[in-house]
Structure formats: C-alpha cells, structure tokens
Amino acid sequence: MTLVGTPPQGTTPPPRLPVRERSTARDRSSHLLSPMLNRLAAERATGVLERERGSLYLAEGRVVHAESPFAPGLDVLLLTHGTLDAGSWRAALERADAKHSALRLLLDADRIPRGALELCHLGALYDAAYFALAPSSTPGRFLYGAGSPLAGPRAVPVGALEKETLRRREMLDRLWPDPLADGAPLLRAEAVAAPAPTARQSAVLALVDGVRTAADIARELGRQAFHTLVDVRRLAAAGLLTALFPPPPPPAPASSPYPATAAAPGAAPPVPPTDHPPPGISLPRVNDPDITLLKRLRDALEAL
C-alpha cells in the first residue's frame, strides 16, 4: 500500500497529474470513426465516400446526403407519413429514371412541401450516416467530383455528424449492450413479469416473425432505422424478443481436394488389398531377420 502525505514545508509540491476532460476525450474519439472522412472535410472535398455499410455525399467538405441499405430511403419516409401522395409518386417515377429524379420533379412542381422535405431529408441523412460510419472490415473509397443525387439545403459538418453517431451508439449500449439484435433476424420470447410494451414497441413486435431484421421492420413501418433499433434494444432488455444466432459454418473439407476413391494427379495407383501382388508390381522388401534367413536357405537349395 502506498501512503500519500503532504510535502515538508519549504519544498516545491510535485506537479498535478494531467486530467483529460470528458468532452475532449469524446472529441478525439470521434475522429476515430473515419479518419478519411475527417481528412476530406479538412480538404473541403466534393464527392462520395463509399463505405461497407453506406455512402456519404460531400460538398466542400460537408455532408449533404447519406444512403445505406440498412436505413429506409427518403421516399419511404415521405410516403408512410402522408407527406407524399402515392399516386403522384407513381406518376413521377414513370417520368423519371430514378427515385431522386422523381423527388426533384415533385419538388419543382410544388407537390412536396419544401419544409417537410427538408426535415425528412435531414432525419434520413443522420439515420443512414449512423450505419455508414459503423466499423468496417474493408477500406472506404472516395470518388472525387461525384455529386449528390439529392442534396438537401442544409449541409452537416463532419464533426457534428460524428458526435451524433457516437451519441447514438452510447445510447444503444446503455439500453442493451448486445448489438446482435441490430442485424440478425428477430424472434419473440416469453418473458416473466415483463413490462407492458408501448404502442410503438407493440408495432415492432407485431412484425417480429423470425425472418425480419430491425432494418426490415423499420422499412415496413416507414420509420427511421435508428428509432427502430431503440425499440428493439428495449424489447430485448425486457426479454420480449431475442435475436437468432447465425448457423454455425459447415465443417472444413479434408486437406486433400480429391475424393477417397480417386487418386491425385501424378500419384501412384492404389495397391489392391490382396496377399499376392498383381503382375508388374512388387511388394516392398521386409527387413525381418527370420524371413531373410529363409530366403537365403531357399536360394542355397535352388543352387544345388
């Protein structure tokens, strides 16, 4: 045990140990999400950063659009909440070559309220960016000069986007620290004395069938994927649902790529299981001394 006392009078006290503030630590850790993204922001680059789980569109170093297969698209959010009429959407799709072009046509024709579009676009941007900035097993790729398919009027600074992504990660970890339920098929579970689910959570439970994932449920409900993850983690913490574990990988094949009945190219043909060798094939020599003595006696008798 180490005793810490006050220094004697007249001596200089030792300097205090540096203490890193919590906000400073969070700011530094935010740059660990994507060093490439921070470098592009410093360069005020324009283009699209393609990552394993999504894409981020930049204009002069700021994020103006984001897409991810794990988050519902902007059209899904607009159609579900009644902001966009289904008939107008189908007509615009027939005239345009892509969803984003159809949204531009509707916006130019004043068929979508600009304020509602801006709000939904900003929510969809943060939602898709949460998945795009997830840990990746493959390096990202940046395409300079590639414009955004649907750039919103508000560009988001990279620092603000990373801070919000970290805040969402910490929130989900506080609710339920196991991330398996985020991407695996979900299955309902019977919990003892579990709290009654809310209306939002009941809507999620109604779609849990052992096949759908959280992203599938978010797309069915027309909700942001992160908000659905919040409900899923709370339900998992309450014991009302569980995630299906992926099946174990099949056993590795044998080291030899050839079947047991086939011989490898260049290998000697197998010797049939018989006491007498076939013509043209000699048995290997045996170094047993008794057998060697018998062979010598045989050779001597044959020489008489």
Domain ranges of the chain: 32-174, 176-243
Is the model's pLDDT at 193 over the cut of 90? no
Angle between the 114-132 and 158-175 helix axes, to the nearest 10 degrees? 70
pLDDT band at 18 (very low <50, low <70, confident <90, very high): very low
User: What is the pTM for the complete model shown?
Assistant: 0.69
pLDDT value, residue 284:
47
Phi/psi for 73 (5° steps) reads: -75, 170
3-class DSSP state of 113: coil
Question: In 3D, which of 224, 28, 33, 214 has the Cα closest to residue 122?
Answer: 224
pLDDT value, residue 242:
93
Is the model's pLDDT at 182 over the cut of 80? yes
Angle between the 225-237 and 114-132 helix axes, to the nearest 10 degrees? 60
Q: How far is the CA of 121 from the CAs of 65, 168, 242, in angstroms? A: 8, 18, 32
pLDDT band at 213 (very low <50, low <70, confident <90, very high): very high
- DSSP letter for each residue of 223-281: --HHHHHHHHHHHHHTTSEEEPPPPPPPPPPPSSSS-TTSPPTTPPPPPPS-SSPPTT-
**Buried b / exposed e across 69-91, counting CB within 10 Å, b at 16+?**
ebbbbbbbbbbeeeebeeeebee
Residue recorded with tokens 């439970």: 205
pLDDT band at 292 (very low <50, low <70, confident <90, very high): low
Q: Could you read off the pLDDT of 61-112 as tens digits, one per residue?
A: 999 999 999 999 888 888 887 777 778 778 877 777 667 777 777 777 777 7
Average pLDDT over residues 248-273: 52
Average pLDDT over residues 207-211: 95
Lowest pLDDT segment from 16-25, 134-143, 186-195, 227-236: 16-25
User: What's the CA gap between 60 and 7, in Å, rounded?
Assistant: 56
Mean of per-residue pLDDT scores for the chain? 78
Question: In 3D, which of 205, 214, 136, 142 has the Cα closest to residue 172?
Answer: 214
